[in-house]
């Protein structure tokens, strides 16, 4: 982290309160983005180790590597961690680092709320994972269905850790959504009209809208479960008139948009990377934007496809099957646009481009199994089998994670100033492609052969084919894990002695490549004037290769400092207070709840009344140096 910090722009002098404090109080979107990336990478490793334990357990029929009790916790924490604490915040990390640069902004709309989002995510994630040491991890799946999640069936604290940990992280995510909607609407540089925005900014915008409307139902759901478990309420208690389907509805009204929150930013990254390394403008930009919006809208109309076997009858199931299949249309538009962007382009297969092109076939496989699952009558067969596990990993690893990695190789030089090693990167890519397909393709067969999900083991009586494909899958998982050793070694090596990246190592198209790597603390010395789509490319090909300033130098010819928001410790303290209160609620310690809430509300009060005087930062040199 030290190595990154040195190059991410020194903080102004007023911030010389020490190294740790400068990170705890920072409101700089670039540093917040780096912390998002670091924390979610750590959670990703934890979730990956959980996956390896699951695969070891399933390598042989009747294996006893882990107990069924532990197995339940492992698959629950694997899913929960990967979705909420790894992939989504990895995207949020890139969004933080890159989107303000792409629209020519100095920072996000609410820099200190951005810090609060980060700390709620980090501390919520730590709280959730601390359950391993404090009475057992949650064990009712990432979807945490009632009634398994209710006290009579699950008396330990695990579910409360799930409930309160995700509540904290979820509120942070909600604030990220609000922040980036406001940022993209209000902070664009002059000339950056909506239809000139890079695709990654567009997908961030639609993702943020999905967050805004999908997370509140989840927040409510988590509250209802908390009331049932901790305060004797009866929302899901059938004996007192409760309804367990209520949880499922509220969960999937959130849950399906959530999977698009996990894929739309990847679509954005793939669009940027493919256009850059094909040296062509994105094919069908308008239809890409429209498809993104259409997917965002349809996301809210399909949730019952997760509940086909609940017995709503053929009319309801048909309706939701049709809306689900309809999503294949805008998604198909995107796939064709990427292919046509490459068509006739001068393609350069850097590691980032390899991941972007690898994304396409893998995501198409996931999309095809998705349409198969969308057929309600067929879903009765696939439901709760390994076929679904194969599908979701093809879209979440083959889709989302490939997007993350394409983004990682593409933007690493912009974020740190150093280029990742391409040779190691190619080892990473090819090992990942092999390991991933060897792990997950056999799961299609396993599902069709009748192997159920979420069961700690399987009987040898299921036949030699089931045992064989499970062993293959486990071997694949280890190849996948080894591919990430190459990645982590690459990160480590590059940060220590990697090749320096100039401002524009890829001959990029969007605005982030117009400024130095890493970006200076104020991003743009002068607010740029945007003169077309692919804003930086336009300046390189039609202009003089420099950004134009939106306003002329001030009349007196003096160089004025740049007003930047100042940092604050209160976002961290608010999150810390809520975390303490969360522990209090889990263990029924009212005093702890009170202490936590007092700390949180004192800090909120300070945030409400505080004036932000800001800081004046002197720009150094010109852009592009």
Contact positions toward Cu ion, by CB under 5 A?
A: 256
Shortest distance (Å) from residue 303 CB to Cu ion? 7
* Gap between the terminal Cα atoms of the chain: 24
Shortest distance (Å) from residue 25 CB to other proteins? 18
By CB under 8 A, the count of residues binding other proteins is 50
Which of 286, 591, 609, 621 is the binder for other proteins (CB under 8 A)?
609
Point out which span in 127-135, 174-182, 440-448, 466-474 binds other proteins (CB under 8 A).
174-182
Point out which span in 343-351, 392-400, 416-424, 603-611 binds other proteins (CB under 8 A).
603-611
Tell me the per-residue interface mask from 198 to 227 with other proteins, x by CB under 8 A, - otherwise: --------------xx-xxx-xxx-xx--x
Q: Per CB under 8 A, does 189 bind other proteins?
A: no
For other proteins, the closer of residues 181 and 342 by Cβ is 181
For other proteins, the closer of residues 113 and 362 by Cβ is 113
Q: How far is CA 111 from CA 28, 108, 120, 211, 408, in A?
A: 7, 6, 15, 18, 23
Give the Cα separation of 329 and 348 in Å (integer): 29
Q: Per CB under 8 A, does 611 bind other proteins?
A: yes
Give the Cα separation of 383 and 369 in Å (integer): 12
Give the Cα separation of 68 and 117 in Å (integer): 36
- Share in percent of the chain as helix, strand, coil (round to 5): 70, 5, 30
Q: Per CB under 8 A, does 612 bind other proteins?
A: yes
- Write out the two tokens for 26: 């920072």
Q: Per CB under 8 A, does 242 bind other proteins?
A: yes
Give the Cα separation of 99 and 203 in Å (integer): 10
Helix (H, G, I), strand (E, B) or coil at 418: strand
| β-sheet bridge partners, residue 615 | 564
For other proteins, the closer of residues 223 and 478 by Cβ is 223
Tell me the per-residue interface mask from 128 to 167 with other proteins, x by CB under 8 A, - otherwise: ----------------------------------------
Backbone angles phi, psi at 495, to 5 degrees: -65, -30
Residues 303/250, Cβ–Cβ less than 8 Å: no
Provide the sign of the torsion angle of the four alpha carbons 529, 534, 538, 541, taken in this order: positive
- Write out the two tokens for 219: 């927040």
| Per-residue DSSP letter, 385 | B
Shortest distance (Å) from residue 4 CB to other proteins? 26
For other proteins, the closer of residues 227 and 297 by Cβ is 227
Q: Which of 213, 386, 209 is nearest to 292 (CA)?
A: 209
Point out which span in 10-18, 575-583, 590-598, 601-609 binds other proteins (CB under 8 A).
601-609
Q: Per CB under 8 A, does 367 bind other proteins?
A: no
Shortest distance (Å) from residue 341 CB to other proteins? 32
Please state whether beta strands 615-617 and 562-564 pair in parallel, antiparallel, or not at all (unpaired): antiparallel
For Cu ion, the closer of residues 256 and 418 by Cβ is 256
Shortest distance (Å) from residue 523 CB to other proteins? 12
Q: Per CB under 8 A, does 186 bind other proteins?
A: yes
Residue with tokens 């690898």: 358
Q: Per CB under 8 A, does 178 bind other proteins?
A: yes
Partner whose footprint covers residue 454, from other proteins, Cu ion, none (CB < 5 to 8 Å by kind): none
Residues 513/536, Cβ–Cβ less than 8 Å: yes
For other proteins, the closer of residues 217 and 417 by Cβ is 217
Partner whose footprint covers residue 242, from Cu ion, other proteins, none (CB < 5 to 8 Å by kind): other proteins
Give the Cα separation of 261 and 250 in Å (integer): 17
Partner whose footprint covers residue 233, from Cu ion, other proteins, none (CB < 5 to 8 Å by kind): other proteins
The residues near 531 (Cβ < 8 Å, ≥ 6 apart) are 191, 538, 539, 542, 543, 548
The residues near 34 (Cβ < 8 Å, ≥ 6 apart) are 1, 4, 8, 93, 97, 415
Provide the sign of the torsion angle of the four alpha carbons 135, 137, 140, 142, taken in this order: positive
Partner whose footprint covers residue 478, from other proteins, Cu ion, none (CB < 5 to 8 Å by kind): none
Partner whose footprint covers residue 19, from other proteins, Cu ion, none (CB < 5 to 8 Å by kind): none
Give the Cα separation of 510 and 514 in Å (integer): 8
Residues 530-589 that bind other proteins (CB under 8 A): 562-565
Q: Per CB under 8 A, does 524 bind other proteins?
A: no
Estimate the crossing angle of helix 29-57 against helix 402-416, to 10 degrees.
Answer: 140
Q: Per CB under 8 A, does 120 bind other proteins?
A: no
Element (H, E) at 167: helix 158-186
Partner whose footprint covers residue 314, from other proteins, Cu ion, none (CB < 5 to 8 Å by kind): none
Partner whose footprint covers residue 615, from Cu ion, other proteins, none (CB < 5 to 8 Å by kind): none
For other proteins, the closer of residues 18 and 152 by Cβ is 152
Which residues of this chain interact with other proteins, rule CB under 8 A? 106, 109-110, 113, 174, 177-179, 181-182, 185-187, 212-213, 215-217, 219-221, 223-224, 227-228, 231-235, 237, 239-243, 246, 250, 253, 562-565, 601, 605, 608-609, 611-612, 614
């Amino acid at each position: 982290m030290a190595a990154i910090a040195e190059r991410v722009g020194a903080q102004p002098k007023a911030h010389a309160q020490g190294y740790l404090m400068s990170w705890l109080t920072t409101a700089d979107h670039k540093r917040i983005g780096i912390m998002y990336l670091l924390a979610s990478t750590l959670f990703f490793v934890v979730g990956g180790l959980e996956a390896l334990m699951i695969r070891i357990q399933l390598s042989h029929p009747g294996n006893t590597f882990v107990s069924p009790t532990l197995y339940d916790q492992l698959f629950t924490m694997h899913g929960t961690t990967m979705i909420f604490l790894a992939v989504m915040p990895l995207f949020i990390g890139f969004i933080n680092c890159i989107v303000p640069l792409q629209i020519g902004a100095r920072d996000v709309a609410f820099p200190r709320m951005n810090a609060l989002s980060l700390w709620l995510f980090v501390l919520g994630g730590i709280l959730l994972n601390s359950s391993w040491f404090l009475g057992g991890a949650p064990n009712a799946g990432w979807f945490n269905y009632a009634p398994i999640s209710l006290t009579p069936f699950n008396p330990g604290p695990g579910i409360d850790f799930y409930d309160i940990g995700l509540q904290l992280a979820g509120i942070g995510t909600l604030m990220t959504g609000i922040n980036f909607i406001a940022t993209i609407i209000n902070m664009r540089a002059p000339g950056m009209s909506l239809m000139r925005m890079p695709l990654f900014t567009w997908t961030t915008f639609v993702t943020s809208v999905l967050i805004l409307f999908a997370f509140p139902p989840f927040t409510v759901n988590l509250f209802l479960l908390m009331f049932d478990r901790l305060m004797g309420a009866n929302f899901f208690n059938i004996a007192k008139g409760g309804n367990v389907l209520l949880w499922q509805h509220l969960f999937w009204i959130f849950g399906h948009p959530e999977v698009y929150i996990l894929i739309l930013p990847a679509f954005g990254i793939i669009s940027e990377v493919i256009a850059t390394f094909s040296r062509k403008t994105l094919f069908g930009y308008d239809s890409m934007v429209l498809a993104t919006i259409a997917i965002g809208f349809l996301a809210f109309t399909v949730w019952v496809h997760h509940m086909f076997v609940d017995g709503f009858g053929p009319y309801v199931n048909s309706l939701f099957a049709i809306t689900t299949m309809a999503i294949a249309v805008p998604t198909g538009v995107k796939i064709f646009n990427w292919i046509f962007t490459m068509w006739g382009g001068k393609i350069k297969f850097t590691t980032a481009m390899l991941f972007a092109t690898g994304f396409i076939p893998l995501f198409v496989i996931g999309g095809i199994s998705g349409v198969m699952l969308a057929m309600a009558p067929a879903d009765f067969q696939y439901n709760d089998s390994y076929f679904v596990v194969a599908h979701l990993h093809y879209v979440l690893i083959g889709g989302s994670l490939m997007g993350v990695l394409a983004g990682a190789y593409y933007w690493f030089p912009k974020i740190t100033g150093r280029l990742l090693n391409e040779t190691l990167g190619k080892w990473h890519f090819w090992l990942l492609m092999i390991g991933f397909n060897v792990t997950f393709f056999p799961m299609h067969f396993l599902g069709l052969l009748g192997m159920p999900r979420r069961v700690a083991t399987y009987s040898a009586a299921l036949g030699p084919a089931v045992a064989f494909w499970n062993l293959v899958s486990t071997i694949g998982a280890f190849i996948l894990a080894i591919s990430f050793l190459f990645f982590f070694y690459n990160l480590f090596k590059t940060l220590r002695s990697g090749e320096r990246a100039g401002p524009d190592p890829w001959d990029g198209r969007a605005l982030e490549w117009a400024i130095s790597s890493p970006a200076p603390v104020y991003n743009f010395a002068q607010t740029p004037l945007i003169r077309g789509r692919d804003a930086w490319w336009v300046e390189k090909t039609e202009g003089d290769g420099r950004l134009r300033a939106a306003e002329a130098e001030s009349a007196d010819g003096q160089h004025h400092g740049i007003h930047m928001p100042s940092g604050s410790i209160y976002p961290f303290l608010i999150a810390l207070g809520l975390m303490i209160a969360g522990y209090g609620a889990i263990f029924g310690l009212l005093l702890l709840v009170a202490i936590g809430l007092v700390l949180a509300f004192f800090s909120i009060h300070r945030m409400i009344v505080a004036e932000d005087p800001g800081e004046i930062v002197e720009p150094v040199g010109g852009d592009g140096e």
